[in-house]
Amino acid sequence: MSVRGPVSDARRADERAGRTAEAIAAALLRFKGYRVLARRFRGQRGEIDLIARRGSILAFVEVKHRASIAAAAESVSPRQRARIAAAAEEFIAARPRLGGLGIRFDAILVAAGKFPRHLADAWRP
Condensed to tens digits (0 to 9), the pLDDT of residues 6-60 reads 668 878 877 887 899 999 999 999 999 999 999 999 999 999 999 999 999 999 9
Residue 90 falls within a domain, yes or no? yes
Residue 17 falls within a domain, yes or no? yes
For 95, the 3-state DSSP assignment is: coil
Residue 4 falls within a domain, yes or no? no
CATH assignment at residue 31: 3.40.1350.10
Global pTM reads 0.89
Closest CA to 70 of 42, 101, 110, 36: 110
Dist CA 91 CA 6 (whole Å) = 33
Question: What strand order describes the sheet that includes 117-123?
Answer: 35-42, 47-54, 57-66, 102-111, 117-123
Instruction: Please give the residue range of the domain that contains residue 97.
Output: 9-123
The contacts of residue 11 (CB under 8 Å, 6+ apart) are none
Residue 1 falls within a domain, yes or no? no
Residue 3 falls within a domain, yes or no? no
* Total number of domains constituting the chain: 1
